[in-house]
Structure 1
Amino acid sequence: MSRAPRRLTQRDIARRAGVSQTTVSLVLNNRGDAAARIAPATRDRVLRVIRETGYAADPLARRMLMQLNQILGVFTYEPVFPSTSADFYFPFLRGIEESAENYGWDLLMFTSAPVTGGRRRIFHENNRLRVADGCVLLGREIPSGELSRLVAEDYPFVCVGRRDDADGRPVPYVGADYVEATARLVERARGLGHRRFAFVGLGTGAESSADRLSGFRRAAGAEAPSFMAETPDPDERVARLVEARVTAVFVEVEAEAVALAAAAVARGLSVPRDLSVMTLGDATTPVDSPLDFTGFHIPRSRIGRQAVELLVDVLHGRTATTQRLLGCEQRQGQTLVAPVN
């Protein structure tokens, strides 16, 4: 089998143009006083080599030369393509599609990624990321190693959901402000007279889980109990809530809120009179429940639209801010009332 040709680097371009690699980088980025001092003839020579060698296939060079394919990729780290409009990810995808259509760009769904260790991987021997000008990434958890590689290779991308920095460099994203939304929900409960709070959820792993716990801690205090993976049984959770005299519990996953409420009722408690139960976002999977939970809505369609808007701005060099958090809409529901005592 013949091996794929090695991708050209800035060093290759510099050698062919007879300039330093720093000069090539300044020409490509086209920013700052140093770039302005490059002689027009030198700039033209570098750009001519870029065109002749096909280095414009690199997204950074294409962005400089405005030779964009008008194609945006969408990659998901888990099966998120919906079969019904009730799917959690449907609003995200709808927002992405609406925004791409508004800009006149095509969407390319990357579906050939293999599953390794139970998870999809964007980087594999047949990956075709560079067919697209940039990519929107979806998934609850995105491997930090892949984010680091995307950042290091200057591949234009935007994550749906807040992501931690990669090797000290900011990761572009549009996400929901779970910290503020959760803190506001706790304050709503406090305003009704609740003083004993508890958190039920992962609280670690994905940034969205960590942010919810952070918002809870900010408003409820560091001493408020949390029941995470070590206490999965709903009956045991209710017993511990009763023991701690908790009157308001904040649950990360709606399915767990349903199970917790059912266990509370089975124990003889009234929801919400004895125990107010709130959910921290929209259900990730459809859940049948007689309760209309108090909580907040994630602006999913708006996040999808703005992810595309941000990616297009990045591709055209029109933005200096690549991280956005959008506010969540508080949901009234019926499961938060003033405590009995």
Structure 2
Amino acid sequence: MRRGQGSRQADIAREAGVSQSTVSQVLRGAGDLSRISPETQRRVLTAARRLRYTTSPQQRVAAQSRNAPLLLGVHTFEPIFPTSIGDYYFEFLQGIEEQAGIESCNLVLFTAARDEGGIRRIYRNGVNGLGQAAGSLILGHRAHLDDLARLAADGHQFVYIGHREVPGVEICYVGGDYRAATGRIVDDLVALGHRSFGYLGESSRYEPQADRWDGFAAALDRFGLPVPTPAYVNPDELTAQWLDDSLAAATTAILVESVSLLRVLHAIISLRGLRIPEDVSVVLLVDDPNGEVGGQPWAAMHIPRNAMGAWAVRLLTALLTDPAGEYERQVLLPCSHTLDRTVGPPRT
């Protein structure tokens, strides 16, 4: 059992024989609000004193004054600042900032050191780099699952922006319902007469990419249509042969997971002298904020990025102020889509 500055809420939970959530609520002064018995609260506080547990300065200030604004941390696994209105992360950050103002919270940006793979880590030399904040909002394409699991074990409240699953831990997240959205796109393509599809996916597979493929495959199964073998490739690995083989197999619609893959596919289609959508329909399964591919809008899935950022702030403040409340802790928001310009009936 670690003591002194090394003591964690998980240590107190084991010492007192209660859950880590109970320890967190008692130490925040929310024991009565959460209907934790006086005896249990005393047991938790006794264990905390025995282990010489100390809270951060921000937690002490919040405990002294209920009117003190919460300090929320923002951690990104990849560098995303500075950003412009055309960047993918802009609307996430805008939603976070706007909702933090509504909730009367302050924000602090954490930029922890990178590891050998270039990913920003939360822990360094065993110390939680987000410990100054009451709770944290975390986002980034390449999440480090070990850090998220350890953060949950340490009792640090956080919300991940995006669908992420951590083995052995149920973390809180706000993501987009990509599975349902992709299924609706397939529904509309089938209604237009498409029966043979191609699928271009990113080589790095995370929950958002898997959700898109699952929605695509499930929709084709529902219609009794053949499910193609997906091409999971890096942009520089995509060849004209893949397109030739797909068209030779009577493919009339291609779904693409990323802007970088779309850029290469568009170049190959142009070199082949083909037209979109007359020869093949193309749908992008993510927003293209800059509209940079081909200088035109594409049929695409539209992700509620601003709403995801705002919802994550609301969820985090709820976790901090009412940890025992009845509300969803894993949220998938609906996505919309448009099938203009680059989608048409299949070629004859």
> What TM-score, normalized to structure 2?
0.82
Which one of the candidate residues 221, 227, 241 is aligned to 1:223? 227
Equivalent position of 2:167 in the other structure: 167
Q: 1:261 to 1:28 in 2, by over 3 A?
A: closer
RMSD, aligned CA: 3.4
1:257 and 2:262 are equivalent in the alignment: yes
Question: Amino acid of the residue matched to residue 180 of structure 1?
Answer: A
Q: 1:72-221 residue pairs with structure 2 within 5 A?
A: 72-125=72-125, 127-164=128-165, 166-202=166-202, 205-221=205-221
Q: Partner amino acid for 1:167?
A: P
After TM superposition, give the deviation of residue 211 of structure 1 in Å: 1.1
- Identical amino acids, percent of aligned pairs: 32
In 2: Cα distance, 1:253 partner to 1:294 partner: 13
What's the offset of the Cα at 1:265? 3.1
Note if contact 2:16-2:47 (Cα within 8 Å) is conserved in structure 1.
no
Of 264, 271, 278, the match for 1:266: 271
1:291 shift after superposition: 3.3
Indicate conservation of the 8 Å contact 1:77/1:119, yes or no.
Answer: yes
Q: What CA deviation, in whole Å up to 9, does each residue of 1:102-138 have, x standing for no partner?
A: 1111101002423432221111136531100011011
Q: Deviations over 1:173-223 (max 9, x none)?
A: 000111111111111110000000111012652211111111111112463
CA distance in 1, matches of 2:217, 2:63: 45
The structure-2 alpha-carbon separation of the partners of 1:292 and 1:143, relative to structure 1 and needing over 3 Å to count, comes to same
What CA distance in whole angstroms lies between the structure 2 residues aligned with 1:51 and 1:297? 51
From the superposition, tell whether residues 64 and 46 of structure 1 become closer, same or farther in structure 2 (CA, over 3 Å).
farther
Q: Is the 8 A contact 2:69 2:106 kept in 1?
A: no
Q: Establish whether residue 339 from structure 1 lines up as the match of residue 318 from structure 2.
A: no
Conserved 8 A contact 1:257-1:279: yes
Q: Is the 8 A contact 1:175 1:325 kept in 2?
A: yes
Q: Cα gap change, 1:188/1:23 in structure 2, threshold over 3 Å: closer, same or farther?
A: closer
8 Å Cα contact 2:77-2:139 kept in structure 1? yes
How has the CA–CA distance of structure 1 residues 14 and 198 changed in structure 2, closer, same or farther, with 3 Å as cutoff?
A: closer
Which of 240, 244, 258 in structure 2 is aligned with 1:235?
240
Amino acid corresponding to residue 298 of structure 1 in structure 2: I
* Structure 2 unmatched ranges of 5 or more: none
Measured in 2, the distance between the counterparts of 1:55 and 1:69 equals 21
CA shift at 1:146, angstroms?
A: 1.2
Residue 149 of structure 1 and its aligned partner are, at CA, apart by 0.8
The structure 2 residue matched to 1:326, chosen from 333, 337, 341, is 333
Q: Distance in 1 between matches of 2:160 and 2:344?
A: 37
Contact 1:279 1:295 (C-alpha < 8 Å) held by counterparts: yes
Tell me the SS of whatever aligns to 1:101: helix
Whole-angstrom CA distance in 2 between matches of 1:13 and 1:312: 24
Measured in 1, the distance between the counterparts of 2:209 and 2:254 equals 16
In structure 2, how many angstroms separate the alpha carbons of the residues matched to 1:213 and 1:12? 41
**Counterpart residue number, 1:308:** 313
2: CA distance between counterparts of 1:312 and 1:88? 25
Q: Deviations over 1:40-98 (max 9, x none)?
A: xx745854885895634399999988877610000001111243211110100010000
Structure 2 Cα separation of the partners of residues 261 and 163 of structure 1: 31
Residues 14, 184 of structure 1: alpha-carbon distance in 2 compared, 3 angstrom cutoff: closer
Q: Tell whether the 8 Å contact from 1:203 to 1:213 is kept in structure 2 after alignment.
A: no
Report deviation, 1:27: 6.2
Corresponding pairs, count = 330
Per the alignment, residue 244 of structure 1 pairs with: 249
Take 2:339 and 2:255, find their aligned partners in 1: how far apart are those partners?
14
CA shift at 1:277, angstroms? Answer: 0.5
How far the C-alpha of 1:299 sits from its partner, in A, is 0.4
Mapped partners of 2:62, 2:277: distance in 1: 55
Q: Secondary structure at the match of 1:261?
A: helix
Q: What is the identity, as a one-letter code, of the residue corresponding to 1:224? A: P
Distance 2:227 2:13 in 1: 59
Give me the TM-score of the superposition, normalised by structure 1: 0.84
Q: Which amino acid aligns with 2:229?
A: P
In structure 2, C-alpha distance between the alignment counterparts of 1:62 and 1:333, rounded to whole Å: 53
Q: Distance in 2 between matches of 1:35 and 1:83?
A: 44
